[in-house]
Amino acid sequence: MQGFIIEGGSELKGEIRTSGSKNAALPMIAACLLINDEVRLHDCPCLSDVYSSVKILNTLGCKCSLSGGTLTVNCKAPVSDHIPDRLMRLMRSSALYLGACIGRLGSCTLSYPGGCELGARPIDLHLAALEKMGVCISEKHGVIECTCPGGLHGAHISLSFPSVGATENIMLAAALARGETVIYNSAREPEIADLAEFLRRCGADISGDGSSVIRINGVKALHGCEYSIMPDRIVAATYLCAAALAGGELMVTNSRIGQLRPVADVLCEAGCDIYGYDDRIYISRKRPLRAVKTIRTMPYPGFPTDAQPLITAVLSRAAGVSVVAENIFENRFRANPELVRMGARIRTEGRVAVIEGTDRLYGARVMAADLRAGAALTAAAISAQGITELGNIEYIDRGYERLEKALSSVGAVITRTQI
Ligand code: UD1
Same fold, 2-19+231-418 and 22-228: yes
Whether residue 115 is predicted with pLDDT greater than 80 in this model: the reply is no
How would residue 116 be classed by pLDDT, with cut points 50, 70 and 90? Answer: low
Please tell me the CATH code under which domain 22-228 is placed. Answer: 3.65.10.10
pLDDT score, position 142: 83
pLDDT score, position 78: 74
Phi, psi of 290 (to 5 degrees): -130, 155
List pLDDT tens digits, range 49-78: 999 999 999 999 999 999 999 999 999 987
User: Measuring from atom 21 of ligand 1, which residue has the nearest CA?
Assistant: 163
| Across 222-236, average pLDDT | 98
List pLDDT tens digits, range 176-216: 999 999 999 999 999 999 999 999 999 999 999 999 999 99
pLDDT score, position 77: 82
Whether residue 120 is predicted with pLDDT greater than 80 in this model: the reply is no
Q: How far apart are CA 387 and CA 205, in angstroms?
A: 53
Ligand 1 atom nearest the C-alpha of 165 is 38
The answer to whether the CB of 329 is under 6 A from ligand 1 is yes
| Mean pLDDT, the chain, whole residue set | 95
Ligand 1 centroid to residue 166 C-alpha, Å: 8
In the chain, domain spans: 2-19+231-418, 22-228
| Across 74-95, average pLDDT | 88
Ligand 1 atom nearest the C-alpha of 49 is 8
Mutate which of 230, 298, 328 for ligand 1? The one with the most ligand atoms within 8 Å of its CB, which is 328
Q: Could you tell me how far CA 157 lies from the centroid of its own chain?
A: 24
Q: How far apart are CA 41 and CA 226, in angstroms?
A: 6
How would residue 419 be classed by pLDDT, with cut points 50, 70 and 90? Answer: confident
User: Measuring from atom 26 of ligand 1, which residue has the nearest CA?
Assistant: 121
Q: Which strand ranges, in their side-by-side order, compose the sheet holding 180-184?
A: 156-158, 180-184, 213-217, 205-207
Ligand 1 centroid to residue 187 C-alpha, Å: 10
User: Which has the minimum average pLDDT: 59-68, 90-99, 131-140, 165-174?
Assistant: 90-99
Q: Which CATH class is domain 2-19+231-418?
A: alpha beta
| Across 238-258, average pLDDT | 97
Please list the residues that pair with 248 across neighbouring strands: 12, 285
List pLDDT tens digits, range 367-411: 999 999 999 999 999 999 999 999 999 999 999 999 999 999 999
What's the 3-state SS for the chain?
A: CEEEEEECCCCEEEEEECCECHHHHHHHHHHHHHCCCEEEEECCCCCHHHHHHHHHHHHHCCEEEEECCEEEEECCCCCCCECCHHHHCCCHHHHHHHHHHHHHHCEEEEECCCCCCCCCCCCHHHHHHHHHCCCEEEEECCEEEEECCCCCECCEEECCCCCHHHHHHHHHHHHCCECEEEEECCCCCHHHHHHHHHHHHCCCEEECECECEEEEECCCCCCCCEEECCECHHHHHHHHHHHHHHCEEEEEECCCHHHCHHHHHHHHHCCCEEEEECCEEEEEECCCCECCCCEEECCCCCECHHHHHHHHHHHCCCECEEEEECCCCCCCCCCHHHHHHCCCEEEEECCEEEEECCCCCECCEEECCCHHHHHHHHHHHHHCECEEEEECCHHHHCCCCCHHHHHHCCCCEEEEEEC
Predicted TM-score (pTM) of the model is 0.96
Q: Give catalytic status of residue 136 as yes or no.
A: no
Contact at 8 Å (CB) between 124 and 91?
no
- Percent of the chain at pLDDT > 90 equals 90
